[in-house]
Structure 1
């Protein structure tokens, strides 16, 4: 006959273990009370409450959806040297807190993604670059998704001057290029937390 392997018993969490211990102590206190030993009942009940309180310490905090996040670009991005899908790097310039903890510190990293890049063209056509925020890192190494809408920069257009003067005066104006689109390093960007996000408190410092 085939023997079935015994299933492993589930390992209780820290909170579950603490509550179980508190329940056992509380039962012992009640047993002492019913047996007539009232002096033992009160300390047992007090021990149960203290044990439950110590085991139920805060384990995580929640960063609420739409919490504002302020960042700046770490380097200049341009329609000349960035293409769609390239990563954009930013740093957080204001701390983000939740539940009394500093979840994201000033200087923590955030990333975005280029969604459109068009180089400046002839006949005065300007360049265009767009990017969106993706996520930021917490102080203990977790990620929080961000939303911001599309950030757009366009170069200076020379199309009007070319169309008015170029063809009528000199065909060489057809080769006049518009300006590239750029976001300079240090440009500030405001985003928002995309969804309610639970972050473990392990590794976080208390907020000032």
Structure 2
């Protein structure tokens, strides 16, 4: 139990690990011996940035994690609980309205949970980490939410080929242009939020 071997196209072997002890061995204790796939890292860096915590490994990742550890102490994490609970209630209210609306029309509600939870996560991160409300759960046509959805769409064969053959990224395709615009929207918004927070932190405090 905890290990499943399967084969993917074009005949590559994969090992699905769910055993906690094995995961600790792979992700923590012997992290250097289990580097993440190059293609996966390439895709991840395009979304979150080359120097982000999620897209780094080895000593670089370890140093970044040590800098962030103080922010994840219980005293700090406990401050996020009310935000998490409030946002969860907003998600429940949203789903209830969708279900009630479909029931009123005599149908059964079908909710695509994956993007809904992505919006939930975006709202929690924005409020708890930056004091910024993306309003991803409530807003329709939100540029940031649309950009995140675009970047988190399921991988296609062409996306995988681009990771293996970087020259394909230079093709003048609408999908590549849309992806570039989405990355610019996300990074521009994050940069604006960080800049605003830094300005607020540098303002003199009235005594």
**Given the two structures, how large is their TM-score scaled by the length of structure 1?**
0.21
Higher relative contact order (CA 8 A, sep 6+): 1
* Pair member with larger Rg: 1
Structure 1 or 2: more strand by fraction: 1
**Given the two structures, how large is their TM-score scaled by the length of structure 2?**
0.21
